[in-house]
């Protein structure tokens, strides 16, 4: 089930050899259940850090992150990433090349019975428009088809929240535009709360209900998207 996301005055810092770098300051946003939010901003402003903090890959030094009724992060609470019920479609999260499409999509369902897993994989492959692709291998698919399989894999365990980090940046212009609209429709059909990060303003407006503009680790605007 999708859930509302709330970030309240979140701070995240990185500690490196040259000392502390504050990547997010006093970062707050509210995203209602079933809505799609998009973060825009120049390179290095902290977009990926927001997603990493929500996913549980970075601890927060101040503030809190809440998903539905669950407190996920605060300076004293840190729920492990695999316990957060958050799905991810990141550019670097490629498909497993040695597994066929059905096994890729069913990967997060390994604890379910074979029959339940098979039914859910079929449902998801139909949802992403690739009902026949189960026995094929990732290298036999186009880049856009691979990204749709990655989306099916992330949606399969029915996460409370989906995070998408520049999911279309490796694709050419026409494929990218088509896939942006397809992914939006799939997320809407699933009633999925989602946060997308992109550099592309047009893509952000095509996909999102709410647009956040970031600058230097801060959210400078959070407004309703203007649908084309």
Residues near ligand ATP, by CB under 6 A: 14, 16, 21, 23, 41, 43-49
Cβ 50 to ligand ATP, closest distance in Å? 7
Cα–Cα distance, 219 to 27 (Å, whole number): 6
Instruction: Give the CA angle between residues 184, 30, 34 to the nearest 5°.
Output: 35
DSSP secondary structure of the chain: ----EEEEEEEEEEEETTEEEEEEEEEEEEE-TT-EEEEE--TTSSHHHHHHHHHTSS--SEEEEEETTEEEEETTEE--GGGS-EEEEETT-PPPTTS-HHHHHTGGGTTS-HHHHHHHHHHHHHHTT-TT-TTS-GGGS-HHHHHHHHHHHHHTT--SEEEEESTTTTS-HHHHHHHHHHHHHHHHHTT--EEEE-S-HHHHHHH-SEEEEEETTEEEEEEE----
The smaller minimum CB distance to ligand ATP, of residues 160 and 166, is found at 166
The smaller minimum CB distance to ligand ATP, of residues 47 and 85, is found at 47
Cβ 21 to ligand ATP, closest distance in Å? 5
Cβ 142 to ligand ATP, closest distance in Å? 25
The smaller minimum CB distance to ligand ATP, of residues 57 and 96, is found at 57
Cβ 48 to ligand ATP, closest distance in Å? 3
The smaller minimum CB distance to ligand ATP, of residues 26 and 185, is found at 26
Nearest to 12 by CA among 72, 68, 52, 71: 52
The smaller minimum CB distance to ligand ATP, of residues 43 and 113, is found at 43
The smaller minimum CB distance to ligand ATP, of residues 15 and 139, is found at 15
Cβ 185 to ligand ATP, closest distance in Å? 26
For residue 213, give both structure tokens: 């503009």
Cβ 218 to ligand ATP, closest distance in Å? 12
The smaller minimum CB distance to ligand ATP, of residues 41 and 108, is found at 41
Cβ 40 to ligand ATP, closest distance in Å? 10
């Amino acid at each position: 089930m999708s859930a509302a996301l709330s970030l309240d005055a979140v701070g995240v810092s990185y500690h490196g050899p040259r000392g502390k770098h504050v990547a997010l300051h006093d970062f707050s946003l509210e995203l209602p259940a079933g809505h799609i939010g998009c973060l825009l901003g120049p390179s290095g402003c902290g977009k990926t850090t927001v997603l990493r903090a929500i996913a549980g890959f970075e601890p927060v030094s101040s503030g809190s992150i809440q998903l539905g009724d669950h407190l996920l992060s605060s300076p004293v609470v840190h729920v492990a990433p695999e316990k957060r019920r958050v799905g991810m479609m990141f550019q670097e999260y490629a498909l497993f090349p040695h597994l066929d499409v059905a096994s890729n999509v069913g990967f997060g369902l390994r604890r379910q019975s074979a029959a339940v897993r098979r039914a859910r994989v079929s449902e998801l492959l139909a949802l992403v428009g690739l009902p026949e692709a189960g026995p094929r291998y990732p290298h036999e698919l186009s880049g856009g088809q691979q990204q749709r399989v990655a989306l099916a894999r992330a949606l399969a365990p029915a996460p409370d929240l989906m995070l998408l980090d520049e999911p279309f940046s490796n694709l050419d212009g026409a494929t990218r535009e088509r896939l942006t609209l397809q992914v939006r429709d799939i997320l809407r059909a699933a009633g999925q709360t989602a946060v997308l990060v992109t550099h592309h303003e047009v893509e952000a407006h095509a996909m999102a209900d709410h647009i956040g503009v970031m600058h230097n680790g801060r959210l400078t605007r959070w407004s309703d998207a203007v649908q084309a």
